[in-house]
Each structure stands twice: as structure tokens, then as C-alpha cells.
Structure 1
């Protein structure tokens, strides 16, 4: 089973999707604005936005005849929750590595 946290990481693994995602904290943007800023076709941006929406990283709201895209905090929460499950073992491994390093004599020069 793929969690949404894993889906988020997969969506952000692509350079173009990550660039789109990173362009949105400044405020909502249309497909055309994103495409122009990144030098990518509107069609390509639309395809990437679809994947970002499926991962709940962006949301869309209609404004007149345009669709504006902005960050969706649910996807970030999913990614945080996914990564937090690894912290206890990562901290334990780091602590063990420090203990081992402290127990070893310093290298001779």
C-alpha cells in the first residue's frame, strides 16, 4: 500500500514538478503563469499539476475562466507524518554512531 506521504515524495522527485511546487508559496498562479516562468509548455505544466493535485500538494480554484493553483497544506502534513515514522530509528542509529566514535581511541598522527 502506498501512503500519501510516499506519493508526495514521488511527486516531488521530478525536477519540473518540484519547480512548480516551489513557485507557489508566493501566491496562486495560473497554468500560463507557471509555464511562462519555467519555460515549459502549458500542456506539460497541466500534466505535472495533475500529479501534484493527486498527491494533495496543490489545489485548484476557478477564478472566472482561469484556474488558479496554490499549495495544499494537506500534502505537506502527509509528507511530514510519513517522514516522522523514521525519526526514532534514525536518532537511535545516530546515537549509536556517536557512542562508537567516543569509545574508539583517536587516530595516531
Structure 2
């Protein structure tokens, strides 16, 4: 995936309402009205957030009669998680090394 597309996915996850909607469709399909209510958003705001999540590929939509049902695209979410894991792995390992080196000999670490 291109870097700009990955950045858009990360920006999409930055909003708490979008994260909540993504969480709600993790294991099951749900209609927009249910997502709006559960996330505490107006229908209009939920529609805009769902469009962004769809555009970034984090959720999919399926039409069932006159309803649109949303569900997380777990493959795409896993790609974002892997990217973030790789991004933070080295800096966090370095931070851990520095913290351990600064710990006084014989002094117990945090509980």
C-alpha cells in the first residue's frame, strides 16, 4: 500500500467515533443507523465517518435490500497494525535499553 494511503488509514483511526464504529463492526455487520446510535453520532456525522472508513478500505459495505451493512475489513486492519508494530518496534526497544541501562545496579525495577 502506498504511504499516502497508509497515512489516510492512520488518520481515519485517529477519531474516537470512527474507532468505535470499527470496533462495532469487527465481528458482525451492522447498519449505519445502529452504528450512529451506538457511537453517539448524528446520522449525518456517522455517514461521513463511514464514508472515510470505506474510502480507506478499513470497512466494507454490503447492500441488503434497502439497507447498507458495514463490516471491518480485518485484512486491511491487520496491515495497519503490522505497519504500526514495525514502526514502533525499534524505537521502543531502544527506549527499553536506555531505561534498563539507567537503572541502578541492584535496584528493583517497576512492579
Q: TM-score range by the shorter chain?
A: 0.7 to 0.9
Q: Describe the superposition over 1:26-81 as per-residue Cα deviations: whole angstroms up to 9, x where unpaired.
A: 41011112123334222211110011112221110111111100011133122123
Q: TM-score, normalised by structure 1?
A: 0.79
Give the number of the structure whose alpha-carbon radius of gyration is greater.
1
**Is residue 75 from structure 1 mapped to residue 60 from structure 2 by the alignment?**
no
Query: Does the 8 A contact of 1:56 with 1:74 survive in 2?
Result: no
Unaligned runs of 5+ in 1: none
RCO (CA 8 Å, sep 6+): is it higher in 1 or 2? Answer: 1
CA contact (8 A) 1:17 1:49 kept: yes
Aligned to 2:91: 89
Q: TM-score, normalised by structure 2?
A: 0.77
- Per-residue Cα deviation, 1:82-102 (whole angstroms, up to 9, x for no partner): 211330232122122202214
- In structure 2, the partner of 1:14 is 15
Q: Matches of residues 1-109 of structure 1 in structure 2 within 5 Å?
A: 1-4=3-6, 6-83=7-84, 84-103=86-105
Q: Secondary structure at the match of 1:2?
A: helix
* Maintained 8 Å contact 1:8/1:57: yes
User: Partners of 1:24 and 1:12 in 2: how far apart?
Assistant: 14
Q: Secondary structure at the match of 2:41?
A: coil
What secondary structure sits across from 2:33 in the alignment? helix
5+ residue gaps in structure 2? Answer: none
